[in-house]
Amino acid sequence: MNPNPHSNKAPLFSLTAISLAAAMFAAPADAAADADALAQKLDALAAQVQAMQKEIAELKAQNEALAAQQEAGARPAATTTAAGASGAAGGHAGAATVAASDDRQLSIYGYGEIAYSNYDHDDSRTQADLSRAVFGFGYRFNDSTHFLSEFEFEHAVTSADDSGEAEVEQFYVDHSFNPYISAKAGLFLIPSGLINTAHEPTRYYGVLRNQVETAIIPSTWREGGVGLHGSSDLGLSWDLGLTTGMKLANWDFTGSDGKESPFGAIHQELQFASASDLSQYLSLEYDGIAGLRVGGSVFTGEVDQSQPGIPGNPRATLWEAHTRYLAHNLDLAALYAHGSISDTAALNLANVGQPTPIPKDFYGWYLQAAYKVWQHGSYSASPFLRYERYNTGSSFAAQPAGLGTAAYPLESVQTIGMNFYLDPNVVLKIDYQNFDVLDDDRFDLGIGLTF
């Protein structure tokens, strides 16, 4: 189609003007002949211009179709759309697309990060670590159906004698019914918070993920199940589903995992996951105002999983609300998350005296501000500040006098640092973190990349 349907008016106007002028002022026959010849040349030129415009429009349409195919062959919208609301200004993860037969496409992508941490009060804890290396493979069966996977290796070495882990982080199929509604099934990330679905190191500030979205929301948190997700032209997107949930029988009353992250201690990651009790989630996001995103989510489900020794019907629930504003080099973010595990009094009483009882409530929040102070070509620098407060055991179920558990102290963390981008997909990081309660004050350096 001609992108400018009125582009032929200029030649027609010129022809009319020349014809009038010839009729009024060109009496000699040879002048009329010259006018006719000029009009024919103008008509021919107009036809050539229209043909070129048509060819340009066709080439543009072909380029747009090719770009859409390449994007479709990368990560499905369920993951990539969340990236725009992550905690860092940077590029999206790329994807190398390899053509396959029948116009199908295989995509290869991934991310990784290396961190160095120097502790103020205990030099023996200073360490360097290849925190994680993640490799993903996606496959576009057709314009509507895609497959997504991510395979993660943590701490460089994975074996029975090492602390490293190898795990499947995502493995699911996403099918689009129309531009507004899609479905997914498999192992996928729960849409909770700002970084759980956008957790690549180029997408958040600081060498390590923030404390609230580690201790309260256990990023990266994934479950197996089915879900529906979609969006509207008004800027509202949604995601809801039915998935596996927590297993309270996994709680270790003698270890420290529950103190570090209550949900992180009992989520199952689809490894022989007990599924007699399924969970439900709902996420809503609004980004209809330029630069602003507001959203929230809730996840809930019973957690006894019909296991012996789990009395009552305990339920685990996590809800959160967040907002982010990104405009004119300014990046502001805020998040509040609250979790609870009900009906735990009998279990705690049966394990009275153990160091890690099950909390009734836990919560956290943070405020974050960053500003891009410099950019030159692909280079950019964004210093940031973040203030967090969180408590992994803010209250416990009531117990008989003398047997109850006092709430944990409220932790506050102040972080100052900078992300320096060599490229939107390669970032150098530096920060300093100060803890009010834990003896974890430290200086961090890191490098992260996505591809």
Determine the pLDDT at residue 203: 97
Q: Where are any strands of DSSP class E within 91-126?
A: 96-99, 105-119
Tell me the helix, strand and coil percentages in the chain, rounded to 5. 20, 45, 35
Contact between 41 and 49 under an 8 Å Cβ cutoff? The reply is: no
Determine the pLDDT at residue 20: 36
Q: 323 preceded by cis ω (within 30°)?
A: no
Q: What is the pLDDT along the chain (451 residues), one digit of tens a residue?
A: 444 444 444 443 343 343 434 443 444 445 456 667 666 767 776 677 677 666 666 656 555 544 444 444 334 333 333 333 333 333 334 555 555 545 669 999 999 999 999 999 999 999 999 999 999 999 999 999 999 999 999 999 988 888 899 999 999 999 999 999 999 999 999 999 999 999 999 999 999 999 999 999 999 999 999 999 999 999 999 999 999 999 999 999 999 999 999 999 999 999 999 999 999 999 999 999 999 999 999 999 999 999 999 999 999 999 999 999 999 999 999 999 999 999 999 999 999 999 999 999 999 999 999 999 999 999 999 999 999 999 999 999 999 988 989 999 999 999 999 999 999 999 999 999 999 999 999 999 999 999 9
Q: Are strands 426-435 and 411-423 parallel, antiparallel or unpaired?
A: antiparallel
394 sits in which H/E element: strand 379-395
Please state, in angstroms and rounded to a whole number, the distance separating the CA atoms of residues 169 and 119.
Answer: 30
Whole-model pTM: value is: 0.79
Determine the pLDDT at residue 70: 42
The residue behind tokens 């689809």 is: 270
Please state, in angstroms and rounded to a whole number, the distance separating the CA atoms of residues 339 and 300.
Answer: 10
Determine the pLDDT at residue 103: 60
Q: Could you tell me the residue ranges of all domains in the chain? A: 9-67, 77-450
CATH architecture of the region 77-450: Beta Barrel (2.40)
The residue behind tokens 């009790």 is: 277
Cα separation values, 400 from 191, 345, 412, Å: 39, 10, 31
